[in-house]
Amino acid sequence: MTTTDSPASSATALRPGRAETDRLAARVAVPGDGRERAHVTSPLTGEVVGEVPIGTAADVADAVARSREVQQGWAALPVRQRAAVLLRYHDLVLDRQDELMDLIQAENGKARVWAFEEILDQAVTARYYARLAPRALKPHRRLSALPGLVSTREHHIPKGVIGVISPWNYPLVLAVSDALAALVAGNGIVIKPDSQTPFTALRAFELLEEAGLPKGLVQVVTGPGRSVGTAIIEAADYMMFTGSTATGRTVARQAGERLIGMSAELGGKNAMVVTGDVELERAVEGAVVASFANTGQLCISIERIYVEAPLAEAFTDAFGARAGALRLGAEQAYGPEVGALASAAQLDKVRAHVEDAVAKGARLVTGGHHRPDIGPLFYEPTVLTDVTPDMELYRDETFGPVVAVYPVASDDEAVAQVNDSEYGLNASVYCGDTSRGRAIAERIQAGTVNVNDGYSSAWASLDAPMGGMKASGVGRRHGREGLLKYTESQTVAVRSRLAEKLQDPTGDPAGYARRFTAILRKAKHLPR
């Protein structure tokens, strides 16, 4: 039985109060007078956290125009000056972490330890791009066909206004981290945060303005995806989207019609391989974090585990016992290890997947119960075995605290099972022999693979690109690619007088051909 902390007392006020969320709502780029407003309800308690105005396509057009006007002056600043804003923001995030975590918990429902994970990411990302940008964005010399005669430089020009559509599961990380790279590259931002979690993004962008970001450069427009999201795609110069594969396909079609670029991190059915030579306790603890962090509502969390057959029974028993001992709780304090699901829709999907599997013969090792005694949207960490292809959760992403364990006979079978999916976002290998683990990892079709870790090592390696293969995404966040995707590459080549003469074929075409034939033969042997 999964243990619980006591239910949150109804007398305990949810933080922040309505005065704070009303203040943040006033920052939305939607006129408030007479507008219909959407309620934001806390998954922890069912209380209304606040409300925001519902925007329209016209509001988006106005927001893009305002951001574009401010962006011109921002882009003209030296890169180091823009980077300094990110470093000040880094300090503010650490200083104001408690109020940010209160917001994250109130609107998302995650346990506080996983809210702190967002603080960590935000600070590290701000520092990384502040340090990378001055080097990566400066003009770089490139080789020409006539070295010494033609001078060629690559420049990086901001795209203009970046559209961001962010999800509810990481309301700080996925709304702001990509925006940090876009901003330091010299762009403006128009963002639609998820309707469930607007206040965290609003507070973060407020902190960025406190750090020196020009007012109006970032515009937040709240409202439904069909109107606000579509309008952003129709007006922005580039799109950054995080969400489901189905919605990502729609965004890609709309962006393609306008011939604008996009980057998207999409769905996953992430797998872990556990080899027979691994230390059992190490693998179990790693699997618990990888599967149940953020209540399993993590794009890169693990939903299926393939264990070498001799270890499978012992692993399943130990993993089930450890998952069943995790503490659930609704309080805004450190202690609980598992928070709430973010919405009734998520709860319904999780229950449907588990009930379908059990009805078709899957064995419930632990969990499998809704826990309204703790809060309206709590569900126990759940481990299943004997899952078969006719069950919904076999291939479909659950996006909740549910994981299936499968025995396999060999590394080859494990790799084949992992790769038998339309998704390829993240994977994990737990092993005793790291050389063996690395060899397995290199055969897995996923954008990131962690050896003896679930997801954090690859995610936190900010200098390396992160994203999905197959139906799990387009483009990459993190690394140089995560910065340069928000720029247009421009090549400027300056030709010398001597090059002009050498390259003139009009006076003596035959001589022109002889000269360049000789040049090409010699150039082959020159050092690059």
Where in the sequence numbering do the catalytic residues fall?
265, 299
Rounded distance, CA 350 to CA 370, Å? 9
Rounded distance, CA 112 to CA 297, Å? 14
- Amino acid identity of residue 514, one-letter, is R
Of the candidates 322, 299, 319, 239, the residue with the CA atom closest to the CA atom of residue 458: 299
Q: Which two tokens stand for residue 151?
A: 């001078």
Task: Residue 120: count other Cβ atoms within 10 Å of its Cβ.
Answer: 15
> Measured between alpha carbons, how far apart are the two ends of the chain, in Å?
66
Peptide bond connecting 376 to the previous residue in cis, omega within 30 degrees of 0: no
Q: 178: number of CA atoms within 13 Å, CB side?
A: 32
**How far from 514 is each of 505, 510, 520, CA to CA, in Å?**
11, 6, 10
Give the residue ranges of DSSP H helices in 301-343: 309-324
Rounded distance, CA 44 to CA 61, Å? 35
DSSP annotation string for 109-133: ---HHHHHHHHHHHHHHHHHHHHHH
Q: What share of residues in the chain are helix, strand, coil (percent, to 5)?
A: 45, 20, 35
Rounded distance, CA 270 to CA 468, Å? 11
Burial 466-484 (b: 16+ CB within 10 A, else e): bbbebbbbbbbbbbebbbb
**How far from 47 is each of 100, 376, 379, CA to CA, in Å?**
18, 10, 18
Rounded distance, CA 451 to CA 433, Å? 10
Look at the block and give the residue holding tokens 């599997």: 357
| 8 A C-beta contact, residue 223 and residue 197 | no
Rg of the chain over CA atoms, in angstroms?
26
